[in-house]
Structure 1
Amino acid sequence: MPKSAMRSTLEQVIIHQFTPAHCTQARQMLGWSFDQLSHASKVSVPAIQRFEAGEPIRDVTLLALAHRLEAEGLVFFPGFAPSRGGNIRGTTPDPVGREDFAMIE
């Protein structure tokens, strides 16, 4: 599969599984205000507020929010609150101590 098609497919998955509730819950988990998420994601506060209120936003804006929150080690699944991913880069403070360290790319 061409890289561009895979990216499009992966983005479509994110667009359909990252919900306004996920965004609100993730901000609360991280203890972030609208301003903090705005600064970290480069998405305007009004756009974040519109999204969390269930109003439509551009796909590129939704992706920016989801990717930024995922960079904090959060994972999102439909119907579930966000959770911390155990194998997400950055979630292990000392990866050398992991028993599967030799398999890390």
Structure 2
Amino acid sequence: MASLAMKITLERIALFQFTPAHSAQARAMLGWSLEAFSRESGVTVEAIRRFEAGSEVLDVTRLALAYRLEAEGLVFFPGFAPGRGMSVRGSTPDPVGRADYAMIE
């Protein structure tokens, strides 16, 4: 039970810390177009566009974006541009393996 509570807590933190601006900045850092980010994350181009424009997307979609960028070693803190983590490789290395993956937009 404690591991489920920890997982939920980590997801809530990721949702709070990862902003639409982070998404666009991280894509630029990695040299990824919307199409490339879509291929890498499994999220539709339209959903990424909506998120980066500040519109609402499902939490699972937002997590898929954040986790895919974290898998590239990026870290996110509110009010700061994305940065490279020392040894960060994401808390979900394979978002496709998530139980709620089918809900991603």
Q: Distance in 1 between matches of 2:88 and 2:53?
A: 28
**Identity across aligned pairs (percent)?**
63
2:16 is the counterpart of 1:13: no
Offset, 1:12: 0.2
Partner of 1:92: none
SS in 2 for 1:49: helix
Structure showing greater Rg:
1
What letter corresponds to residue 35 of structure 1 in structure 2?
E
Read off the aligned partner of 1:6 and give its amino acid letter: M
Provide structure 2 residue ranges, at least 5 long, that are not aligned to the other structure. 90-105
CA–CA distance in 2 between the matches of 1:87 and 1:66? 16
Measure how far apart 1:86 and its partner are: 1.3
CA RMSD of aligned residues (A): 1.4
Equivalent residue for 2:102? none
In 1, the alpha carbon distance for the partners of 2:13 and 2:75 equals 13
Rounded to whole Å, the distance in 1 between the matches of 2:47 and 2:85 is 26
Tell me the equivalent position of 2:34.
Answer: 34
Q: Number of aligned pairs?
A: 90
Q: Counterparts of 2:68 and 2:15 in 1: how far apart (Å)?
A: 14
The separation in 1 between residues aligned to 2:35 and 2:3, in whole angstroms, is: 34
| 2:69 counterpart of 1:69 | yes
SS at match of 2:6: helix
Unaligned ranges ≥5, structure 1:
90-105
